[in-house]
Amino acid sequence: MMLSCLLLSMALPLEAAFAAQKQRVSFIVEGSIKDMLGRPISGAAVSLESQGGRRREQTTSNDQGEFRLDAGEAGSYTLKARRQGFKPAIKVIQLGSNRPSHKPLELVLESESALSLPVSASRISPQNGLSRTGTNKYTMTAKEINNLPLGEATPLNQVMLQMPGVTLDQNQEIHIRGEHMGIQYQMNGILLPLDMNNDPTFTQLLNSYFVKSVSLVDGILPAQYGYRTSGVIDIHTKEGCDGNHNDFTVGGGQRATTQASFQLSGCDGGFSYYLNGMFLQSNLGFSSAVPAPDPIHDEVTQGQGFAYLTYALNSGAKLSLISGMTLAFNQFPNVPNEPPLYQLDDINPASYPSSAINSGLNQQDYYGVLAINGSLSPHVDYQLAYSVHYNSETFYPDPIGDLIYQGVSSHVFTSDLANTLQGDLTWRLGSAHVLRGGFYFGEYGVESDQTSQVFPIVMGQPTTSPISLTANLNKINLVFGIYLEDTWQINEKLSVNFGSRWDRVSGFTDASQFSPTINFLYKPRSDTAIHAGFARNFQLPNFQNIPSGITKLFAGTTGALNTSSGGNTSPFAETDYTWDVGFNHQLAPHLVFAQDNYFRIDRHYLDEGQFGFVPIEAPLNYVRGYGAGTENSVTYNLKNFSARANVFVAREEDIGVASGQYNFPPDELLYIDRHYIVLDHTPLVGASGGAAYRWREYQFTVDGLFSSGLRGGFANQTQLPKVWQFNLSGAKDFVVPGFGKFTNRVTLLNIFDRTNLIRPSNGIGVFQAAYGPRITVYNALTIPLPQL
The domains of the chain, with CATH numbers, are 2-111 (2.60.40.10), 128-784 (2.40.170.20)
CB contact at 8 A, 241 and 312: no
Q: Give mean pLDDT, residues 235-261.
A: 92
> 747-769, pLDDT tens digit by residue?
999 999 999 999 887 755 556 88
Of the CA atoms within 13 Å of residue 646, those in its CB half-sphere come to 26
Collapse the DSSP code of 752 into the 3-class scheme (helix H, G, I; strand E, B; otherwise coil) and give the result.
Answer: coil
Neighbours of 645 (CB within 10 A): 18
CB contact at 8 A, 630 and 595: yes
- Containing 111, the helix (H) or strand (E) segment is strand 105-111
- Please say if the pLDDT value at position 183 is more than 60: yes
- Give the pLDDT confidence score for residue 48 in this predicted structure: 83
pLDDT bin (cut points 50, 70, 90) of residue 60 is confident
Q: Which residues pair with 327 in a beta bridge?
A: 303, 364
Distance of CA 608 to the CA centre of its chain: 18
Percent of all residues in the chain with a pLDDT value above 70, rounded to a whole number: 89
Task: Name the residue among 768, 756, 762, 604 with its Cα closest to residue 683.
Answer: 756
- Give the pLDDT confidence score for residue 215 in this predicted structure: 95
Task: Name the residue among 460, 508, 506, 515 with its Cα closest to residue 485.
Answer: 515
Q: What is the dihedral of CA 585, 589, 590, 593, to 10 degrees?
A: -10
All residues at 6 or more sequence positions from 485 whose CB lies less than 8 Å from its CB, including other chains: 222, 223, 224, 435, 436, 437, 497, 498, 499, 500, 517
Q: What pTM, to 2 d.p., does this model score?
A: 0.85
Collapse the DSSP code of 116 into the 3-class scheme (helix H, G, I; strand E, B; otherwise coil) and give the result.
Answer: helix
> 338-371, pLDDT tens digit by residue?
999 999 998 988 889 999 999 999 999 999 999 9
Neighbours of 169 (CB within 10 A): 19
- Report DSSP letters for 417-472, one per residue: EEEEEEEEEEEEETTTEEEEEEEEEEEEEEEEEEEEEEPBEETTEE-SS-EEEEEE
- Please say if the pLDDT value at position 201 is more than 80: no
Q: How far is CA 553 from CA 70, 189, 550, 613, in A?
A: 68, 46, 5, 17
pLDDT bin (cut points 50, 70, 90) of residue 11 is very low
Q: Which residues pair with 363 in a beta bridge?
A: 328, 393
Q: CA 150, 153, 158, 163 torsion: positive or negative?
A: positive
- Please say if the pLDDT value at position 114 is more than 80: no
CA distance 778 to 149: 10
- Give the pLDDT confidence score for residue 95 in this predicted structure: 73
pLDDT bin (cut points 50, 70, 90) of residue 4 is very low
What's the mean pLDDT when you consider all of the chain? Answer: 88
Q: How far is CA 667 from CA 220, 457, 717, in A?
A: 38, 22, 14
- CA-based R_g, the chain, Å: 27
- Please say if the pLDDT value at position 540 is more than 60: yes
CB contact at 8 A, 428 and 421: no
- Report DSSP letters for 584-649, one per residue: EEEEETTEEEEEEEEEEEEES-EEEEE-TTSS-EEEEEEEEEEEEEEEEEEEEE-SSEEEEEEEEE
Range in 85-89, 112-116, 394-398, 431-435 with the lowest mean pLDDT: 112-116
> 481-517, pLDDT tens digit by residue?
999 999 999 999 999 999 999 999 999 899 999 999 9
Q: Which residues pair with 80 in a beta bridge?
A: 47, 90
Task: Name the residue among 625, 631, 669 with its Cα closest to residue 648.
Answer: 631
Range in 360-374, 442-456, 540-554 with the lowest mean pLDDT: 540-554
Range in 211-225, 552-566, 567-581, 680-694 with the lowest mean pLDDT: 552-566
Q: Give mean pLDDT, residues 701-716.
A: 94
- Please say if the pLDDT value at position 658 is more than 60: yes
- Of 17-21, 112-116, 122-126, 204-208, give the range with the top mean pLDDT: 204-208
Q: Which residues pair with 571 in a beta bridge?
A: none
CA distance 126 to 693: 16
- Give the pLDDT confidence score for residue 663 in this predicted structure: 82
CB contact at 8 A, 49 and 315: yes
- Please say if the pLDDT value at position 214 is more than 80: yes
CA distance 628 to 653: 9
> 19-51, pLDDT tens digit by residue?
444 444 456 788 889 876 667 888 788 888 876
- Give the pLDDT confidence score for residue 159 in this predicted structure: 95
- Whether the upstream peptide bond of residue 462 has omega within 30° of 0, thus cis, is no
- Give the pLDDT confidence score for residue 686 in this predicted structure: 96
Task: Name the residue among 370, 375, 269 with its Cα closest to residue 312.
Answer: 269
Q: Give mean pLDDT, residues 564-576.
A: 81
Pairing of strands 183-187, 231-237: parallel
CA distance 686 to 165: 7
CA distance 781 to 739: 14
DSSP alpha helix (H) spans, 380-421: 401-406
- Please say if the pLDDT value at position 213 is more than 50: yes
- Give the pLDDT confidence score for residue 53 in this predicted structure: 60
Range in 349-353, 394-398, 562-566 with the lowest mean pLDDT: 562-566
